[in-house]
Every structure is written in C-alpha cells, then in structure tokens.
C-alpha cells in the first residue's frame, strides 16, 4: 500500500534568487532521506513560489523495507578465548548489533575466519518516521543569507508562517520555529484566502483555485505565452532574457502580462542602456521592431489578475520615466569627460592592493599587447590600433553610467570612444576585449580586440597566481577559470599562433618590469599550465571527447592549444577502429622500454646495429619523424598521427627479433636510444597507454 505525501513551507516573500536553489535543495534532501530510511516512493514533484517551497511525493510506501544483512565482526582468533568461549571483543560486537552472543557464527573470507552477525531489522510504519524527517528537512535548508525573528533560534531566509505535513489525508504533526504543521495553506496574498488541502495530489489544483500557480515550469510557460500573445497582437519582437524570465517567475504567484510606454525622446540613449535600465531596475522586457531596433514600449509581469491593468501600467511608466531620466543625465554628463581625464582617474582606483591600481593594470595590458603583436608579427597599422585600444580599454570604468550599471563596461566605452573621435576598430576592441564574458559567449570579432582581450586576461591570471590566489572549490573572486577558458576560446577561434608558456612569459616580464612579480616565472609556468589543462579538459568534455582520450592528450602537453584540440579530433577519428589497438600496444611497448634510457644523448650509431630490423626501424622512424614534424608544424594532426602509426609493423618486427637489454652495454644503450627517439615523438602526441579498450 502507498500514499502521497505533501510538505509545504510557507514563508514571507523570498528573494527571487533564493527560490530555485532552495527548491533544488529540498528535493535532493528529501530523496536522500527516503533512501536512507528505506522508504520506497514514486515521483517527487517540486513546487515553489515567492511564498512557499513544497514537495508532493507520490506512491510513498506505508512501511520501511525490512533489512537483512550480514555484518562482519572481529577475526575468530580474537573472538574466542583459550577455552573456546566468546571473548569480550565478540560479546561487545554482539551487543552493538543488538543480539545475543549465541546468534554469532563464524565464516571464512580470503583465508581468514571471522565472526559474523545476521542482522535483521523489521521496517517500521512510515508515518512514525515522517514527523522527525519532515522537521529535519525544513530545518536543514541553507540560504545565502539568513535572518532570525521573534524568539526563535532558527536562522532562515525569511520567517516561516505556516507548514503542511500531509500523508494521504493524515496530518503529520511537527513544529519548526513555533509553527506547527497542519493541512491548511494560504492562497495569493491579495486574491486568495486560507484553504484546506484535502490530500496531496490535489495540492496544485487547490492552489490554482486561490490564484497561485505553484508549478514553476507552468508559471514560466504562462509568462512566455502571455508575452508572445501580446507581442503578436502588436507586431512586436520581444527578446526574452532567460535570467530575467527566471527571476520574474520567482517573483510572482499568479502572473499577468501588461505593457506600457515611455517617451520616444529616450531612444536617443544607446539601446543597451535602455535595456539594462529596464532589466536591472524594473524587471521589464524590452520591445523591438522587426529590425531589432528599440521601440518606446516595455512589457512587465504583474503578480495578480487583469483588473485595473491601465492603472498598473501608468504606475510602471512613471517609475521608468524617472529611471530613464537618470540614465539620460548620466549619458550626457559622461560625454563631457575627455579620455585623458578618465585615464588619469584610473590612477586612484585600486585593482588589487599588491598588484596596483587599474592604471597599473592598463600599463601592463599595453605592454602585453605589444609583445603579443610582435610574437604574431602583426602589421604596423594593426599594431598601432591594438596599442591604442589597450591604452583606453578601461577608461569607461570611471563614467557615471558604468558606475550605475557595471554590466555596461565596454559597451559604454565603445559608444563614448566613437563620440570622442576614436576609430571604429579601436572602439569595438574597447567593448569586446571583455569577451567572452561567460560560457557560450562570443570571442572578440576582430584581431585587435582578441589581442587586447588576451593581454588583459593573462595579466589577471599571472597576477593572481603570483600572489598564490589560485581558485579552490567555488571560490574564484577574479574569475580566473572564465579568463582561462576565454584565452583558449580566443586562440582557437582567431587561429593565433601563440603558446600558453609564451603568454605567461610575456605577462611575467610585465610584472617584473613593474617590480610586482611575487613569485618566479619558473614556479608559475607549471602551475598555470596545470590550470589551463583543467580548462582544456572541460572544453574537450563539452565537445564529446572520450574521457580516456582526454587523459591521453593532456599527458602529451597543452602548451599549443590549437594543436591540442587538433590532436583530440585526430585521435577521435581512429580510436574506435579495431586495428588501432594494435598500434597503441606497439606505442606503449616502445614508451615503456624507452623509460630505461638514462643517457642525455640521442645520437644513434648505425654501426652498432646487429639485426636488420634495427636498421629498418631506424630508417622508418627517420621518414616518419620528418613527416611528423612537417604536419605538427602546420597542426595537421591527422596526418601526424598517420605518420606515427606507420611505424607499428617496424616496431613489432623489432621486438620479435631483438633483445633490447643486451649484455653488451654499447649495443644495449644504442637500442634504448633508438626506442627513446621513437618514444619522444609518440609521447609528444599522447600517452597512448591511457586509452581504454
């Protein structure tokens, strides 16, 4: 027999950003509790609004599952005394398992005899466990910020106002923060009323009758449907920002979409400013025409029904008018500032105490960008543009608009730079050097912005590693993981012929010149290489590369990002072929024996070859090595791998006919050197021994 279970936590309105994480926690913790208690159940359905977190668990067994298990105790030699009676160790083990010593038995395992207890436990009624279990679930939720209220000791995101614990039609009594559970819920704060929930499966319908859509997915879909219907009626295009949609869904219980307007004179402000102001301050959706241009309208979502929508729209319009007036004022005032004045103000803004000001960082970016241009042999005209973009890339940080809306950094830089006479290419680089800002974001569209972006990101990375500020767990205040992934993405998408070690060296030299390098480059290079390796591992995982292929590739080194990605593609082309395993076996055998090579020399003496197969392998390797070098230089990694694979027959014949570890030291070392040079090429591609067959 089974019943459904309902747990509802009624609260004062939660901050929108707390709702989804809390609901996820509640569901996970509930599923873990049921598993630990051996209680079978069906689907767990989560529900949440700003005023409630709830779960309906279907088909909950009315009794725990019985358990029967054998528990191993001490070894027999310890469990029995000299007289053959149970020792204190055995008696203590029996007591710990809740049984008499007579119930113990002996059984052999791995050649040793142990004492065992056959522990059986009868499942208890689920209803007897739920009171303590539901109380624990409610109290165990963690929030980013907590508060206390009244005389309660419990710290929670918001005060708890009601609780429901309902198993079938039976109320499960428990108390949290002086609130005792019942079967009564609250409807919409203004449209609904206090309502009895007869049984868990009717929970969602009961709340709907009280103007609450408890299912977040359903509420989200309702908002989207209403926006799309309103847009279709007016011939508008409404881009729906997913983060904003999630936030709005967590702010309302009964959504009704409405629209309002604002004066067309505000359209003189850059579109990004208008959209950001609407989104960040008012949670409004912008309205665009068919060409993506802003229209003087907005869409918002009311937590209520359709009554008096015109009055609600007027109130929203009044508030927005004030916001846009502020934005227009900031925009006009910012344009009175010259770039040189803005750059001077950066001298007073601390970037990081030990790394200097933002102005110090800009000087390092300029130096880094110049070095990268020289490394890439960029033409003089482009280099000048890179230099100028690097010099002014942070000037908009001191503007009023960016102070008000930090997410507009770069966007306002481009707009103001154009108005102050900078070229389109330089202005665009100022905007795009922050890209990619997040996973899935675009790289800078042009090489100028790409170089400045790398110069900025590698400065941040090396500076933080120099101070030992290496991300651990979720702590990454300078977004070093994102910066590293951005460098990888830019190098690949712009096909830049640059290695990670070269970038680290460039940044270290800039810090050394400014006397701010806290640890030596020799220490930083391997640490940063490992950090890039982890980011590349994530990139390859996202592209569906097999985990063993990734491990094999990373062992071959990641300094050349483009080559690493090309090696991944080449290896994935052949790793599933049945014949490739034999090739890998040959490679692995070479690498294993080559590890015995201890000489610093890689010179091979053909005069010491005693067998024909030695000479065959040597000449086969020389031909393959030449092709391997040519193809790796151009990152033609499929061809490079084919060149290596062509050695497999010569390798196999060599091992069939030759005893590598010959008694004669000269012959032995010559053979090991031959294997060493072959293994060097193999290992530079991948550690083929890590592949799983």
According to DSSP, residue 688 is labeled G
| pLDDT of 693 over the 80 cut | yes
Question: In this predicted structure, what is the pLDDT of residue 106?
Answer: 87
Question: For the residues of 247-313, what is the DSSP string, one character each?
Answer: HHHTT-SSEEEEEEE--GGGGGS-HHHHHHHIIIII-PEEEE-TTS-EEEEEEEEEES-STTHHHHH
pLDDT class of 123 with cuts at 50, 70, 90: confident
Considering the domain architecture, whether residues 158 and 45 belong to the same structural domain is answered as yes
Q: Does 374 fall in a domain?
A: yes
Each residue's pLDDT tens digit, 21-51: 999 999 999 999 999 999 999 999 999 999 9
Q: Does 396 fall in a domain?
A: yes
Residue 194, classed as helix, strand or coil, is strand
Residue 73, classed as helix, strand or coil, is strand
Q: Residue 493's domain is classified under what CATH number?
A: 1.10.3210
- Per-residue burial over 144-174, b = 16 or more CB atoms within 10 Å of its CB, e = otherwise: eeeeeeeeeebebbbbbebbbbbbbeebbeb
Considering the domain architecture, whether residues 157 and 98 belong to the same structural domain is answered as no
Q: How far is CA 427 from CA 206, 271, 446, 490, 587, in A?
A: 57, 17, 11, 19, 52
Q: Does 352 fall in a domain?
A: yes
Question: In this predicted structure, what is the pLDDT of residue 501?
Answer: 97
Considering the domain architecture, whether residues 285 and 366 belong to the same structural domain is answered as no
Considering the domain architecture, whether residues 35 and 106 belong to the same structural domain is answered as no
Q: How far is CA 591 from CA 30, 233, 524, 554, 661, in A?
A: 51, 70, 29, 16, 15
Question: In this predicted structure, what is the pLDDT of residue 572?
Answer: 94
How far apart (Å, rounded) are the C-alpha atoms in residues 238 and 234?
Answer: 11
Q: Residue 173's domain is classified under what CATH number?
A: 3.30.70
Considering the domain architecture, whether residues 33 and 162 belong to the same structural domain is answered as yes
How far apart (Å, rounded) are the C-alpha atoms in residues 296 and 324?
Answer: 12
Nearest of 578, 504, 491 to residue 536 by alpha carbon: 491
Task: Give the structural domain span for 649.
Answer: 563-690
Question: In this predicted structure, what is the pLDDT of residue 258?
Answer: 97
pLDDT class of 556 with cuts at 50, 70, 90: confident
Q: How far is CA 250 from CA 52, 227, 671, in A?
A: 11, 17, 70
Considering the domain architecture, whether residues 419 and 489 belong to the same structural domain is answered as yes
Pick from 542, 571, 587: which residue ends a domain? 542
Q: Does 165 fall in a domain?
A: yes
pLDDT class of 121 with cuts at 50, 70, 90: confident
| CB contact set of 547 (below 8 Å; sequence gap of 6+) | 541
Considering the domain architecture, whether residues 151 and 31 belong to the same structural domain is answered as yes
Cβ atoms of residues 260 and 298 within 8 Å: yes
Considering the domain architecture, whether residues 354 and 282 belong to the same structural domain is answered as no
Q: Does 555 fall in a domain?
A: no
Pick from 147, 175, 208: which residue ends a domain? 208
Q: What is the CA radius of gyration of the chain?
A: 34
Q: Does 351 fall in a domain?
A: yes
Mean pLDDT score, 154-174: 97
Cβ atoms of residues 413 and 430 within 8 Å: yes
The alpha carbon of 498 is separated from its chain's Cα centroid by a whole number of angstroms, namely 26
According to DSSP, residue 332 is labeled H
Q: Residue 645's domain is classified under what CATH number?
A: 1.10.730.10
Element containing residue 403 per DSSP (H, E): helix 400-404
Question: In this predicted structure, what is the pLDDT of residue 108?
Answer: 86
Question: In this predicted structure, what is the pLDDT of residue 80?
Answer: 87
pTM of this structure: 0.79
Report the number of distinct structural domains present in the chain. 5
Mean pLDDT score, 148-160: 94
Considering the domain architecture, whether residues 130 and 113 belong to the same structural domain is answered as no
Cβ atoms of residues 214 and 186 within 8 Å: no
Considering the domain architecture, whether residues 455 and 530 belong to the same structural domain is answered as yes
How far apart (Å, rounded) are the C-alpha atoms in residues 96 and 110?
Answer: 25
Cβ atoms of residues 632 and 570 within 8 Å: no
pLDDT class of 149 with cuts at 50, 70, 90: very high
Q: Does 548 fall in a domain?
A: no
Q: Does 557 fall in a domain?
A: no
Considering the domain architecture, whether residues 304 and 344 belong to the same structural domain is answered as no
Pick from 489, 511, 542: which residue ends a domain? 542
Considering the domain architecture, whether residues 140 and 111 belong to the same structural domain is answered as no
């Amino acid at each position: 027999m089974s019943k459904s279970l309902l747990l509802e936590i009624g609260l004062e309105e939660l901050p929108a950003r707390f709702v989804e994480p809390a609901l996820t926690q509640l569901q996970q913790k509930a599923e873990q509790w049921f598993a630990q208690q051996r209680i079978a159940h069906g689907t767990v359905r989560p529900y949440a609004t700003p005023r409630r977190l709830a779960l309906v668990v279907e088909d909950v067994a009315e009794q725990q599952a019985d358990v029967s298990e054998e528990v191993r105790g001490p070894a027999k030699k310890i469990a029995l005394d000299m007289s053959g009676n149970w020792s204190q160790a055995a008696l203590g083990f029996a007591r710990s398992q809740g049984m008499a010593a007579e119930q113990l038995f002996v059984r052999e395992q791995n050649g040793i005899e142990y004492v065992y207890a056959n522990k059986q436990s009868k499942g208890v009624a689920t209803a007897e466990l739920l009171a303590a279990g539901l109380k624990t679930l409610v109290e165990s939720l963690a929030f980013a910020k907590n508060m206390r209220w009244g005389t309660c000791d419990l710290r929670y995101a918001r005060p708890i106002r009601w609780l429901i614990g309902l198993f079938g039609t039976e109320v499960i009594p428990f108390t949290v923060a002086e609130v005792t559970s019942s079967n009564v819920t609250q409807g919409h704060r203004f449209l609904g009323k206090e309502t009895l929930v007869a049984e868990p499966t009717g929970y969602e319908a009961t709340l709907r009758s009280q103007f609450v859509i408890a299912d977040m997915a359903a509420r989200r879909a309702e908002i989207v449907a209403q926006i799309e219907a309103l847009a279709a009626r007016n011939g508008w295009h409404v881009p729906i920002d997913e983060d904003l949609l999630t936030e709005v869904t967590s702010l309302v219980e009964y959504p009704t979409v409405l629209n309002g307007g604002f004066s067309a004179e505000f359209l003189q402000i850059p579109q990004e400013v208008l959209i950001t102001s609407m989104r960040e301050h008012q949670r409004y959706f912008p309205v665009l025409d068919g060409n993506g241009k802003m229209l003087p309208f907005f869409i918002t979502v009311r937590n209520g029904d359709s009554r008096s929508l015109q009055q609600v729209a007027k109130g929203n319009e009044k508030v927005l008018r004030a916001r846009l007036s502020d934005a227009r004022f900031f925009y006009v005032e910012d344009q009175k500032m010259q770039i040189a004045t803005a750059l001077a103000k950066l001298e007073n803004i601390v970037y990081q105490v030990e790394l200097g000001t933002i102005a110090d960082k800009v000087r390092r970016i300029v130096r880094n960008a110049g070095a990268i241009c020289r490394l890439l042999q960029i033409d003089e005209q482009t280099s000048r543009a890179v230099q100028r973009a690097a010099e002014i890339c942070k000037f908009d940080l001191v503007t009023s608009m960016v102070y008000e809306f930090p997410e507009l950094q770069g966007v306002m830089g481009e707009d103001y730079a154009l108005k102050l006479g900078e070229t389109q290419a330089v202005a665009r680089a100022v905007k795009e050097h922050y890209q990619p800002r997040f996973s899935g974001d675009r790289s800078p569209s042009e090489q100028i912005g790409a170089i400045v972006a790398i110069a900025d990101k590698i400065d941040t990375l090396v500076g933080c590693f120099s101070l030992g500020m290496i991300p651990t767990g979720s702590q990454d205040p300078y977004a070093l993981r994102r910066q590293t992934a951005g460098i990888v993405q830019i190098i690949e998408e712009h096909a830049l012929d640059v290695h990670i070690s070269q970038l680290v060296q460039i940044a270290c030299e800039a810090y050394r010149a400014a006397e701010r390098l806290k640890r030596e480059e020799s220490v930083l290079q391997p640490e940063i290489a490992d950090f890039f390796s982890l980011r590349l591992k994530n990139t390859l995982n996202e592209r569906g590369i097999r985990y063993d292929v990734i491990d094999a590739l990373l062992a071959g080194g990641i300094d050349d990002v483009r080559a690493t990605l090309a090696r991944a593609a080449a290896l994935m082309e052949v790793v599933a072929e049945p014949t490739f395993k034999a090739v890998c076996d040959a490679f692995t055998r070479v690498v294993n024996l080559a590890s015995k090579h201890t000489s610093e020399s890689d010179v091979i003496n053909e005069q010491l070859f005693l067998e024909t197969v030695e000479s065959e392998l040597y000449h086969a390797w020389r031909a393959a090595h030449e092709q391997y070098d040519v193809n790796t230089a151009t990152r033609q990694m499929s061809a490079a791998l084919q060149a290596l694979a062509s050695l497999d027959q010569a390798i196999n014949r060599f091992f069939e006919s030759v005893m590598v570890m010959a008694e004669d030291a000269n012959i032995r070392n010559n053979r090991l050197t031959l294997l060493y040079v072959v293994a060097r090429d193999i290992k530079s591609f991948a550690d083929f021994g890590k592949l799983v067959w």
